[in-house]
Structure 1
Amino acid sequence: MNNRLLLAELQARLRAGESLVWLGVARCQGSTPREPGAHMLVGRDFALGTIGGGHLELRAREIARAQLAAAPQAPRLERFPLGARVGQCCGGVVWLSFETVTPADLGWVAEANNLAAADVPWLRLSALDRRQVEVLPASAADQRAELQPLLQALPQRSGDQALLADIGPALLLERFRPPELHLALFGAGHVGRALVQVLAPLPLQVSWIDPREDEFLPALPANTRRLLSDDPLAEVAALPPDSAVLIMTHSHALDLELVRAWLARGDFRFLGLIGSAAKRARFEARLRAGGSSEAQLARLVCPVGAPGVGGKEPEVIAIAVAAQLLALRRQASSATHKTRRVA
């Protein structure tokens, strides 16, 4: 469960009048099940997300619910030696932050959701000795001299993360980033619908393109936007560089033209076409006749899906393709880097 979905759920429940605990991994030492920046929501009879499972999460839920049952409290920090305190074999140490969030906090939650929806990297600062939270775009932190040492201390890995700073009262800095991979999905058939559902909780952003309005899911996941287009081919130029592209429309002729357009564009991270080896052979012959080079054709992935996952059921294909996409998240094409440098 990614943090964007947790924040959307948090906002919806606050608007309904609920109070919850925003529970996060603030610091780790040694081997631990999750890294700083992992979060979950805990309500009186509700929990969403995970900070690693097992006895650690069970104990964390108990603490969170006890905090909700008490009078509104300042945030708290708990240290968990995983072996000695909760009997987990990881052997490391985890510091968890517990922050009660009430409808009175809708301001910062709404601002966080707005920044996430706009794909803007953002920061959340929480003073753990009092109920004081600040949300700001990451770019605004450049003007804040007091934040520079904290930002420099954050790990350079990708994805969301957190840093617990012991400067005076403990300060928790959380950095949230847009999804690492954009997927352009052409086709809203059985496999397309299954794939969108599989990808819903994952850190990917999906643009879903099809000319058939009735084929889309009635309710779209938070990480998916629908592009209803009479001419899907015309959408190719407007999609962002470094995208993963999956082509699985209702028409082989449209599939061919989409593959041709993406090969000509070239600045994609992945280009996948659903179908068999025989379909690939037919497409390659037509693309060669149209002037596509061998180097271009070598970038086309068909059939798609992680090797070794057999089955023709839409859900099985979707899981195999999702595994293939997740392996792409931290890769980048040289063509894209060149494009960004020129830009």
Structure 2
Amino acid sequence: MLDIAGPLRGWCAERREFALATVVAVSGSAPRGPGASLAVDAGGTALGSLSGGCVESAVHELCLDALASGRGGVHRFGYSDDDAFAVGLTCGGILDVLVTPVRGQDPVRPVLGSVLDAAAGGGRAALARVVSGPPGQLGRALAVHAGGSWEGGLGGGAALDRAAAERVRAMLLAGRTGTAELGTAGGLCGEPLTLLVESAAEPPRLIVYGAIDFASALARIGAFLGHRVTVCDARPVFATPERFPGADEVVVDWPHRHLAAERDAGRLDPRTAVCVLTHDAKFDVPVLALALRLPLAYVGAMGSRRTHAERTGRLRAEGVTEAELARLRSPIGLDLGGRTPEETAVAIAAELTAVRHGASAVPLTGGLSPLHHPFAPFGTKVSVGKDHTARNVLDDQPGRHERRVVGE
């Protein structure tokens, strides 16, 4: 939903009636992951996309049906080699899609609005919706804020809402979108319940130490990838906003002192990436000794292999452990063969992306690994046949697609 937060907030402000279709789980290869959304109003106007076009027409129809009936549900779309023109994913994956009607007095409307307002104002909030569990609770929603307060309810009482809010808040503070499992009685007790959690959080941070030309290129590509970029250097003649138009902020300070201040102010989180490009021991060693002891997503340092060997020796002398040193990405970046600042920035950004997604960073050509890392699906697999109907792989019962109804 958050991928269309801006225009969808406008629809909510207009009190427009619409249905919201959201990817809740992916199995196999698919172009987009959980959280991708398509909204359709009563006139058929659509916002967003679920799969780049593979299932949009079918989901558009489901949204209109949900608006007319007031009932949503979870629908599954797959692919069959028997008919490449059937409704499904040509990439071979399987999508589970939650369709939720949002009409005038539907209780989900203020919950959606709360999260959309927080996201638009730069605040932190998460939307949690029941996507698997007792039929009467499917589609119920909870808005959770960073301070721990929540709005709405999952239909299972205060204990469930309290337990869910704690789980969702932890995902929110980590900036994670995905599913959470708990029981209907709270914690792990009761019937199994699956929530789709969509977190609206500020962009992940990329902190670049060393105001050099490579840093300028990395700031530009970091901003392009959605990071909030900080460039820091102790030399005021080099650390100027004019030299780094791609950065959100340029700071004049010693790197280790700046990183410590960011830590003490609570401005670092497990999504933060730190790139040290100075390859000068008096700057590198103090900041790396601190960074490697912090729960950061990525710590990389520029320099030749000889520089890296000398630097690790100095870090060991500073008390950095072997386990901490193993977190250091140095020489920084993937081996793409580039030499220019821009090519080097691409190599660094590629490694950062691979680390974030737990990917191998090996060429896809000739490989057998999936193009998109799979998410744990729920329910049974469905294949789409020549007659454009779906068939349950486990019990071979025909049907257009698996459907679990919200509100029944």
**TM above 0.5, one fold?**
yes
2:208 maps to which residue? Answer: 185
Query: Aligned with 2:339: secondary structure?
Result: coil
TM-score, with structure 1 as normaliser: 0.60
2:37 maps to which residue? Answer: 40
Given candidates 329, 335, 338, the residue that maps to 1:301 is: 329
Contact kept in structure 1, 2:231 and 2:249, CA below 8 Å? yes
1:136 maps to which residue? Answer: 144
Query: Aligned with 1:55: secondary structure?
Result: coil
Query: Aligned with 2:355: secondary structure?
Result: coil
Aligned pair in 2 of structure 1 residues 245, 291: CA closer, same or farther (>3 Å)? same
Given candidates 253, 267, 279, the residue that maps to 2:293 is: 267
Matches of 2:331 and 2:45, distance apart in 1? 45
Query: Aligned with 1:123: secondary structure?
Result: strand
Matches of 1:294 and 1:134, distance apart in 2? 43
Say whether residues 1:244 and 2:246 are aligned partners.
no
Contact kept in structure 2, 1:55 and 1:86, CA below 8 Å? yes
Q: How far 1:23 sits from its partner (Å)?
A: 2.3
Moved more, 207-216 or 17-26: 17-26
Contact kept in structure 1, 2:289 and 2:318, CA below 8 Å? no
Aligned pair in 2 of structure 1 residues 298, 51: CA closer, same or farther (>3 Å)? same
Superposed CA deviations along residues 66-100 of structure 1, whole A, max 9, x for unmatched, are 57xx9887463363442375154637563441545
Aligned pair in 2 of structure 1 residues 284, 146: CA closer, same or farther (>3 Å)? closer
Q: How far 1:24 sits from its partner (Å)?
A: 0.3
Say whether residues 1:160 and 2:168 are aligned partners.
no
Matches of 2:137 and 2:319, distance apart in 1? 63
Supply the AA of the counterpart residue of 1:97. V
Aligned pairs (5 A) from 1:180-219: 183-186=206-209, 189-200=215-226, 206-210=228-232, 211-217=239-245
Moved more, 226-235 or 141-150: 141-150
Contact kept in structure 1, 2:100 and 2:139, CA below 8 Å? no
Matches of 2:57 and 2:284, distance apart in 1? 49
Aligned pair in 2 of structure 1 residues 124, 179: CA closer, same or farther (>3 Å)? farther
Larger of the two Rg values belongs to structure: 2
1:97 maps to which residue? Answer: 99
Contact kept in structure 2, 1:27 and 1:163, CA below 8 Å? no
2:75 maps to which residue? Answer: 79
Supply the AA of the counterpart residue of 1:184. I
Q: How far 1:272 sits from its partner (Å)?
A: 1.0
Q: How far 1:324 sits from its partner (Å)?
A: 2.0
Matches of 2:353 and 2:291, distance apart in 1? 23
Higher normalized helix content (fraction of residues): 1
Matches of 1:115 and 1:108, distance apart in 2? 11
Q: How many residues are matched?
A: 303
Supply the AA of the counterpart residue of 2:331. P
Say whether residues 1:176 and 2:176 are aligned partners.
no
Moved more, 156-165 or 18-27: 156-165
Matches of 2:320 and 2:329, distance apart in 1? 15
Query: Aligned with 1:229: secondary structure?
Result: strand
Aligned pair in 2 of structure 1 residues 267, 20: CA closer, same or farther (>3 Å)? farther
Matches of 1:186 and 1:101, distance apart in 2? 50
Aligned pair in 2 of structure 1 residues 303, 124: CA closer, same or farther (>3 Å)? same
Supply the AA of the counterpart residue of 2:36. H
TM-score, with structure 2 as normaliser: 0.52
Matches of 2:111 and 2:166, distance apart in 1? 28
Matches of 2:331 and 2:195, distance apart in 1? 43
Identical-residue share of aligned pairs (%): 17
Matches of 1:175 and 1:60, distance apart in 2? 21
Q: How far 1:317 sits from its partner (Å)?
A: 3.3
Q: Bigger relative contact order, structure 1 or 2, given CA contacts below 8 A and separation 6+?
A: 2
Contact kept in structure 2, 1:274 and 1:302, CA below 8 Å? yes
RMSD, matched Cα: 5.4
Query: Aligned with 1:312: secondary structure?
Result: coil
Contact kept in structure 1, 2:274 and 2:299, CA below 8 Å? yes
Contact kept in structure 1, 2:129 and 2:197, CA below 8 Å? yes
Supply the AA of the counterpart residue of 1:323. A
2:365 maps to which residue? Answer: none
Aligned pair in 2 of structure 1 residues 52, 191: CA closer, same or farther (>3 Å)? same
Aligned pairs (5 A) from 1:21-36: 22-26=20-24, 33=30
Matches of 1:301 and 1:314, distance apart in 2? 18
Aligned pair in 2 of structure 1 residues 198, 231: CA closer, same or farther (>3 Å)? same
Contact kept in structure 2, 1:76 and 1:128, CA below 8 Å? no
Q: How far 1:196 sits from its partner (Å)?
A: 1.5
2:391 maps to which residue? Answer: none
1:123 maps to which residue? Answer: 128
Q: How far 1:183 sits from its partner (Å)?
A: 3.9
Aligned pair in 2 of structure 1 residues 327, 72: CA closer, same or farther (>3 Å)? same
Query: Aligned with 2:54: secondary structure?
Result: helix
Q: How far 1:311 sits from its partner (Å)?
A: 1.9
Contact kept in structure 1, 2:23 and 2:96, CA below 8 Å? yes
